[in-house]
Amino acid sequence: MYIREANSADFKDIMAIEKEAFYSEDVADLVSQLLADKSAEPVVSLLAFKDNEAVGHILFTRAMIDARRLSPSIYILAPLAVKPDHQRQGIGGMLITEGLKKLKEMKVEMVFVLGHEDYYPRYGFIPDAGSLGFIAPFPIPNKNANAWMVQALTSKGLSKVRGMIVCADPLNKPEHWRE
Ligand SMILES: CC(C)(COP(=O)(O)OP(=O)(O)OC[C@H]1O[C@@H](n2cnc3c(N)ncnc32)[C@H](O)[C@@H]1OP(=O)(O)O)[C@@H](O)C(=O)NCCC(=O)NCCS
């Protein structure tokens, strides 16, 4: 098993992973748009290989805090996908860990995710980022508030700048914010 940064030659492999993991074209379409979108750059796009087959992919795209002060450097994790035959072998976890390492190298201050509240806290994410003042791009119903999570990546901790998170344009649609 190894993980490396994805490049343009990996596009077909990435699409295959998203389609298999989500059993639809929708997330693959979103990833395709995010990989081509200026407002998402520079992305962190990582592929996991097993026996030379690409089996997992993670994407982090750039975001901003919509405050009247300078926004800290923040990213959103979306999506994470592992082919069904290769799930529950730790590949998703390794992709998250490697992604967080890259973001730290880039001096990113915080990373957000909308996802399973039993899963992402294992990797340092704090549930209910909304209650900390980091408002998701679209309203998250109260019953799912814990699914919107944040993690500080520097010794400074969570940024003092709070407000609405503005994500890359292709992600900025209500259908991507239903957990
Ligand atoms: C979620 C996903 C990326 C996890 O990848 P993985 O390689 O299986 O993850 P790991 O092996 O590192 O961790 C396994 C843990 O993930 C959790 N998990 C995996 N699939 C899950 C699911 N569908 N729902 C809830 N938790 C899930 C379990 O808690 C599991 O832990 P356990 O085996 O102790 O019960 C993978 O299951 C997947 O691609 N799912 C479909 C796409 C998806 O939902 N992506 C998440 C979008 S935020």
Domain residue limits at 130: 2-177
Q: Which of 1, 49, 82 to mutate to test the pocket of ligand 1 (most atoms within 8 A of CB)?
A: 82
pLDDT band at residue 70 under the 50/70/90 scheme:
confident
**Which atom of ligand 1 is the closest one to the Cα of 83?**
39
As a whole-number percent, the residues of the chain with pLDDT over 70 amount to 98
What span, in angstroms and rounded, lies between the C-alpha atoms of 104 and 73? 11
**Residues of 3-27 as b/e, b for ≥16 C-beta within 10 angstroms?**
beebeeebeebbbbbbbbbeeeeeb
Q: Which CATH number goes with the domain that contains 72?
A: 3.40.630.30
pTM of the model: 0.95
pLDDT at residue 6 tops 70 = yes
Tell me the per-residue pLDDT of 73-101, one tens digit each, with 9 for 90 and over: 999 999 999 999 999 999 999 999 999 99
Q: How far is ligand 1, taken at its centre, from the CA of residue 160, in Å?
A: 32
- Cβ 80 under 6 angstroms from ligand 1: yes
Q: How far is ligand 1, taken at its centre, from the CA of residue 87, in Å?
A: 7
Tell me the per-residue pLDDT of 14-49, one tens digit each, with 9 for 90 and over: 999 999 999 999 999 999 999 999 999 999 999 999
β-bridge partners, 46 = 5, 58
Q: How far is ligand 1, taken at its centre, from the CA of residue 174, in Å?
A: 23
Structural domains of the chain, count: 1
